[in-house]
Amino acid sequence: MPVRHIVAVIAWLAVLGAGPCWVGALPPNTHPVPEGYWIGGAPVTTADIEDLHRRGVRVVVSGVVMAEEPRQACRRLGIERVNVWFGRNFPSVETLMSGTEHFQPSEIFIHCDHGGDRAGALLAFFLAVRHGWRADHAILAVAYPGRRDVERLIALLEAQGLQITPEEQEQYLGIYSGAQNGGSGGLKIRGEDYRTLVITTLQAMASFGIEVTDPIEPAREDPAGSVAGEPCTVASTDAPAQPEPAPMEEPAINPPSELP
């Protein structure tokens, strides 16, 4: 295991203490990861935000619209908010980075509706861009470890030029997903929206200089025939983002998507 992962695990154990600290008033499906980030479902009550604040969270990264009650709690407690509401396309990397650059990972809570797909994509991006993870390892870490989902994800990554060994699967698969951390879910491949989310996440990583293709072996054709076989390149530097309404005029629903 790389030294940075060992150090991160030690820090993670210090956060966890003697037991699972995400049990209680925290938002649904919420847990910390070794680098310090908190990831989970959308906060729904004042208590959700208050508990995050007690644990050191000072900025909330929202992949979906947050309800009014926790928004009010954020304002009262001085917690900053980074709104990057999105569906199938990874959101604005400029908004994401500028809104979090002054915060330590342990001060950042990342959420979507359920803490699986979109929140997982955001976490994978941070792991690659802020912590130097390989793109494929970051995606694997947040993936849902169901057999068929894994097969589809590996096929998609290989179609993008990322070759995954059995040893890499064993080491990284799902280690930061809710399913492997006392909750549920993770990044999945169950339709075209899910494929687009993974591909645009890789493109977002590439826009920050992260290598998203295997430099040795060429991309393989997806055996299921579901994804084009050319590797992802830096040609498209940023996935199109969903328009963001003014902070005080948040819409009642999230952008259309088949993602949960």
- 190-235 pLDDT, tens digit each: 999 999 999 999 999 999 999 998 764 444 444 443 333 344 433 3
Give the alpha-carbon dihedral of 55, 56, 58, 62, to 10 degrees. Answer: -40
Which of 70, 253, 231, 93 has the alpha carbon at shortest distance from 156? 231
Share of the chain above pLDDT 90, in %: 72
Annotated domain spans of the chain = 3-206
In this prediction, residue 25 carries a pLDDT of 77
- Dihedral (CA of 236, 105, 197, 166) sign: positive
For 3-206, CATH gives: 3.90.190.10
Which of 159, 147, 253, 255 has the alpha carbon at shortest distance from 198? 159
Lowest mean pLDDT among 27-31, 136-140, 229-233: 229-233
In this prediction, residue 42 carries a pLDDT of 98
What does the pLDDT look like over 48-88, one tens digit per residue? Answer: 999 999 999 999 999 999 999 999 999 999 999 999 999 99
In this prediction, residue 12 carries a pLDDT of 46
- Give the CA radius of gyration of the chain: 17
What does the pLDDT look like over 154-195, one tens digit per residue? Answer: 999 999 999 999 999 999 999 999 999 999 999 999 999 999
In this prediction, residue 213 carries a pLDDT of 84
Judge whether residue 47 has pLDDT over 90.
yes
Name beta bridge partners: 109. Answer: 38, 60
Please state whether the predicted TM-score (pTM) of the whole model is above 0.95. no
What CA–CA distance (Å, rounded) separates 145 from 7?
24
Which burial class, exposed, middle or buried, applies to 37 when counting CB atoms under 10 A from its CB (0-12, 13-18, 19+)? buried
In this prediction, residue 258 carries a pLDDT of 55
Residues 6+ apart with CB under 8 A from 128: 134, 135, 138, 205, 208, 210
